[in-house]
């Protein structure tokens, strides 16, 4: 029986299975060989999901949320003589800029509206005009808006101009197929509590080994030293440098097995896409227009405008939905009143039908006041 009193319509943390939760009920020793083998199996499994060979790529697990993983890359692989081009069209790519400022990393920003993907032609112009750029960094799934950026087009430019390519695939990896070598990605960052459907507690970086080996001594943080973390995991067969979140690692191991049982990324993407489209269509029929056009809408989360002339508040809508078994996210746009509905995790078509029914009842009740 599901002990949750509500399901999460969020982009992670998300609603997990009972078996993922149960995996956390055993206490494990970080020095134990079984536990270290579990870490190694996770590292190998993630490479397979990325279509990456373990000779050319490696996986580094990093304590902390996804932001910790992104910061470990930016602060640990971009040297004082390097310069990164940050493609900014949401709150999470903006956070990359904040990290660069904090660590004194040289950067240039190409900024787009939150509703638009970066224009490859403009990116190419920037690369042509600034020969000092060594890295390109961007977010794949911008959960600020729900937009799915075109990493393939930017990856082609990274290869053409011989730039290191950093991709924050926090809310897409495991739910959207990403062929890391084919796309020319040097570093991909994601998190345990997103599309693989584990629980929060660590992030992971899929890194090109030849490039990672050149980053020793660059890190600006002890705890976020990506090279040192990788070196320890390699030398000691799955041992983390500092105390690892053992219960979270066990849950993630189970989540990987469940992803495979569902049919892998292809099957999970099909489920996410179907529920996202049904949710978007049903909400628009109720008067909630989506912020992102269909061509660029990702299958993870959708931002909605409120119906015209509505008088209810987000807090009131949130409380109503929570009382009926679901919780949602407030909007993250700066120029409009919106809210967001995620559909990853243990969300299925019957949930979509229930959610739409709850929204319909809420809107009808409010309209009668």
User: What integer is the mean pLDDT of 53-79?
Assistant: 97
Assign 286 to helix, strand or coil.
coil
- For the chain, where do the domains classified as CATH 3.90.1150.10 start and end? 7-11+263-367
Residue with tokens 């190998």: 44
Distance CA 114, CA 87 (A): 11
pLDDT higher than 50, residue 1: no
Distance CA 324, CA 353 (A): 13
Mean of the per-residue pLDDT values for the chain?
A: 96
pLDDT higher than 60, residue 2: no
pLDDT tens, position by position, 115-174: 999 999 999 999 999 999 999 999 999 999 999 999 999 999 999 999 999 999 999 999
N-term to C-term CA, the chain? 38
CB 301 within 8 A of CB 329: yes
Distance CA 58, CA 52 (A): 8
The pTM of this model reads 0.96
Length reported for the chain: 369
20-260: CATH topology: 3.40.640
Assign 5 to helix, strand or coil.
coil
Q: What was the pLDDT predicted at 276?
A: 98
Distance CA 117, CA 113 (A): 8
**What is the CA angle 90-175-193, rounded to 5?**
75
pLDDT higher than 50, residue 363: yes
Q: What was the pLDDT predicted at 310?
A: 87
- For the chain, where do the domains classified as CATH 3.40.640.10 start and end? 20-260
Q: What was the pLDDT predicted at 309?
A: 85
pLDDT tens, position by position, 234-250: 999 999 999 999 999 99
pLDDT tens, position by position, 290-303: 999 999 999 999 99
pLDDT higher than 90, residue 265: yes
Q: Thinking of the domain 7-11+263-367, which architecture would CATH place it in?
A: Alpha-Beta Complex (3.90)
Distance CA 283, CA 278 (A): 8
Q: What percent of the chain has pLDDT over 70?
A: 99
CA distances from 100 to 71, 75, 108, 130, 204 (A): 9, 8, 10, 18, 20
Q: What are the φ and ψ backbone dihedral angles of 335, each rounded to 5 degrees?
A: -115, 5
């Amino acid at each position: 029986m599901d002990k949750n009193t509500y399901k999460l319509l969020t982009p992670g943390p998300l609603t997990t299975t009972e078996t993922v939760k149960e995996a956390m009920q055993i206490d494990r020793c970080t020095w134990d060989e079984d536990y270290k083998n579990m870490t190694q199996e996770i590292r190998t499994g993630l490479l397979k999901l990325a279509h990456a060979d373990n000779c050319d790529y490696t996986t580094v697990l990093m304590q902390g949320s996804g932001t910790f993983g992104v910061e470990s890359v930016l602060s640990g692989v971009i040297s004082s003589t390097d310069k990164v081009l940050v493609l900014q069209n949401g709150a999470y790519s903006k956070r990359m800029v904040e990290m660069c400022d904090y660590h004194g990393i040289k950067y240039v920003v190409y900024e787009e509206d939150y509703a638009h993907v970066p224009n490859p032609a403009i990116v190419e112009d920037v690369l042509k005009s600034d020969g000092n750029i060594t890295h390109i960094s961007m977010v794949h799934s911008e959960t600020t808006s729900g937009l799915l950026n075109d990493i393939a087009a930017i990856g082609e430019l990274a290869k053409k101009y011989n730039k290191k390519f950093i991709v924050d695939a926090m809310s897409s990896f495991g739910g959207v197929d990403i062929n890391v070598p084919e796309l020319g990605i040097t570093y991909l960052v994601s998190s345990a509590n997103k599309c693989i459907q584990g629980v929060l507690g660590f992030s992971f970086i899929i890194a090109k080994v030849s490039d990672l080996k050149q980053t020793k001594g660059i890190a600006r943080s002890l705890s976020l030293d990506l090279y040192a973390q990788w070196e320890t995991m390699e030398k000691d067969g799955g041992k983390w440098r500092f105390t690892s979140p053992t219960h979270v690692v066990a849950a993630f191991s189970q989540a990987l097995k469940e992803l495979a049982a569902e049919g892998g990324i292809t099957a999970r993407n099909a489920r996410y896409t179907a529920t996202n489209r049904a949710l978007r269509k049903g909400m628009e029929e109720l008067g909630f227009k989506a912020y992102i056009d269909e061509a660029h809408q990702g299958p993870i989360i959708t931002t909605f405008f409120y119906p015209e002339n509505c008088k209810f508040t987000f807090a009131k809508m949130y409380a109503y939905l929570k009382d009926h078994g679901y919780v949602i996210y407030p909007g993250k746009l700066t120029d409009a009143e919106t809210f967001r509905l995620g559909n990853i995790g243990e969300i299925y078509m019957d949930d979509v039908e229930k959610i739409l029914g709850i929204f319909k009842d809420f809107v009808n009740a409010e309209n009668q006041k």
